A and B are shown apart, each in its own frame.
Chain A
Amino acid sequence: MAGTFEPRIIAFVCNWCTYTAADNAGVSRLEQPPNVDVIRVMCSGRIEPAFILKAFAMGADGVIVSGCHPPGDCYYTNGNYKTFRRMPLVERLLEQFGIEKERFHWGWISGAEAIKWAQLTHEFTERVRALGPLNWSRQLESKED
C-alpha cells in the first residue's frame, strides 16, 4: 500500500509571491513532486477557509496555503494579515475534525524563494505520504451508520 500511494495535494497560492516562486521554480528546472496541484488566487486573503475544507472533502490528502511575507510584502497591503488571523483557527478546526496537523501547511514564500517552494513541496509530499490516504468521502459511504 505504502509503495503505491501517491498523495494528492492542493496548494492555494497568491498570484504575486508564492505563485511567482512556483513559476520560477519551474523555469529554473528545480525538481518538484508532481503531487501538488497549484491553484492561483489573487491574494492569500482571498483563500476562504471553505476552500480548504472543500479540498479535503473532495479527496485532497493535504492542503498548502501560501502567500506573501508579512508585514510588508502583500501586494494589497494587508491581505496576508487576514490569512494569519484565520489560519490558526483553521488549523485547530481541522484537528477537531480528526485531520492531522501535518496535512495542512500555511506560510509565506516570496517570489524570490523558488528553492524554498521546491523544498516545501518535497517535504510536504513526503510528510503526507507517510500519513497515508485521507479519503474523506468514505466518512459518509457506509449505509449502516
Chain B
Amino acid sequence: MAKKSKLKLGLYWAASCGGCEIAVVELREKILLLDEAADILFWPVAMDFKVKDVEAMPDGHMDVCLFNGAIRTSENEEMAHLLRRKSKVLVAFGSCAYEGCIPGLANLFDKDSILRRVYLEVPTVDNPRGVLPQPATHLPEGEVEIPRLYNTVKTLGQVTDVDYFVPGCPPQPHQIWAVVEAILGGKLPPKGSVVGANEKTVCDECKRLREEKRIKKFYRYHEIIPDPEHCLLEQGIVCAGPATRGGCGALCPQVNQPCRGCYGPPPNVMDQGAALLSAVASVVDANSEEEAARIVGDILDPAGTFYRFGLPASTLHRARLGNR
C-alpha cells in the first residue's frame, strides 16, 4: 500500500443473513472516513458491481476483501476462490465465514432431508407437484442453471487460505472500526490471527454478580425471567460466556439474555461446544448419577445449544452422513 493511493477494498457475502453488512453500515459517520481512505471495488449488497468486474481485475488487485457468510453452495465456493485470487488480504468477516454460524447448524442434517423439509413438509408450503430446486432446468430459451447446494456447510478457511478472522454475529461496529484502523495503519498482526476481539472470555467482560454456581434445574429462555443482577448461568440458564471469546462487551447479558456464543472459542480452546458442555455440566448440583442425568436432561438439544455458532469449525464438523 503506497502512501496517498487509496486502499482498494472489497466486501462480499456468501451464505449469511445480511447482518454483517448492516454491521458495516453501523459504522455510521465513520463510514465517510472509510470512504475517504478506501475505494470500494466490489460490494454487491450496496453497490452495482458484477462478478465479471472482479474477474477482469488482475490477481491481487484488491488490497483487502472482507468476506462474510459461510460456504454452502457451489457459487459460494467459486466466489471464495475468485476473491482469494483477486485480494492481497482475505478476511473471514463475521461468525459465518469464521466458524459457520447459524447456517452451519444445517450440518446436523444432510442436503436431501433439508430440501425435503423446506419444500415438501413444512405446514405452510403449498407445493402439490412436489417441485424441488434443480441445478439445471430446460426452458424454451435454453438451460437455466442455479448453484448446487452442498451437504456440508463449510467455513471460508476450510475452502481457501484466509489471512484474518473477525468473529461475531455480527462483528460489533467498534471492533470493525478497530480492524479498519489496523488495516489503514498497516498494523496487522501475524497471518491467521483472530482480530477485532479480545483474548479473554465474555465472562471477563460481564458485570453481573458471580457467586457459587450450583445448578439444580436448567431453564429454556422462555421459561424464566432472569434476575438482572446475578450471573445467568447461576440461575440455570445456559450462558455461553465461559466458553466464548470476549470483544462484544457482554452485550447480551446486559439485556438479560444469556450469551449464545457468537464470538467463537476463546484462544487455546479447540472446541467451543465441548468446552461449554464441560463448563455447564460440571456445576450441576447433583450428588448421584441419577440426579445428574435428570438435571442435564433439561438441556433438550445439546448439539444446537453448545454448537449454535461453530458447528462447521468444530472437531466433528458435522453429523454423520448416510445413517439417518
Contacts and interface: CB of A to CB of B under 8 A. Distances in A.
Given A50-B270, A89-B296, A136 B316 contact: yes
Contacts of B297: 88
Interface stretch (B15-23, B193-201, B298-306): B298-306
B289 A84 contact: yes
A89 B281 contact: yes
A145 B111 contact: yes
Interface stretch (A5-13, A21-29, A94-102, A111-119): A94-102
A90 B302 CA distance: 8
Contact of B277 (A45, A70, A81, A89): A89
B292 A85 contact: yes
A127 interface: no
Interface string A71-90: 10000000001101110111
Interface in B58-93: none
B271 interface: yes
A85 B286 contact: yes
Interface in B119-157: 148, 150-152
B278 A86 contact: yes
A98 B320 contact: yes
B302 A85 contact: no
Contacts of A33: none
Interface in B281-324: 281-282, 284, 286-289, 292-293, 295-297, 299, 301-303, 306, 314-321, 323-324
Interface in A24-55: 45, 48-50, 52-54
B302 A81 contact: no
A41 to B, nearest CB: 14
Contact of B303 (A45, A54, A96, A144): A96
B267 to A, nearest CB: 15
A57 interface: yes
Contacts, number: 104
A145 B150 contact: yes
A86 B302 CA distance: 11
B34 interface: no
B281 A85 contact: yes
A140 B317 contact: yes
B296 A53 contact: no
Nearest to A78: B287
Interface in B243-302: 270-271, 273-275, 277-278, 280-282, 284, 286-289, 292-293, 295-297, 299, 301-302
Contact of A53 (B288, B295, B316): B316
A142 B159 CA distance: 12
Given A84-B289, A85-B286, A140-B152, A96 B277 contact: no
The winner among B108, B152, B274, B324 for most chain A CB atoms within 10 A is: B274
A85 B296 contact: yes
A70 B290 CA distance: 12
Interface in A98-145: 98-99, 136, 139-140, 142, 144-145
A132 B150 CA distance: 27
Given A53-B316, A86-B281, A98 B323 contact: yes
Interface in B152-196: 152, 158
B289 A70 contact: yes
Contact of A89 (B152, B299, B321, B324): B299
Contacts of B111: 145
A56 B316 contact: yes
A53 B108 CA distance: 15
Contacts of A53: 271, 274, 314-316
Given A48-B274, A85-B284, A86-B278, 20 more contacts: A45-B282, A48-B275, A48-B278, A49-B278, A50-B270, A50-B315, A53-B315, A81-B286, A81-B287, A84-B286, A84-B293, A85-B281, A86-B282, A88-B293, A88-B296, A90-B277, A93-B273, A93-B302, A93-B303, A98-B321
Interface of B: 108, 111, 148, 150-152, 158, 270-271, 273-275, 277-278, 280-282, 284, 286-289, 292-293, 295-297, 299, 301-303, 306, 314-321, 323-324
Interface of A: 45, 48-50, 52-54, 56-57, 70-71, 81-82, 84-86, 88-90, 92-93, 96-99, 136, 139-140, 142, 144-145
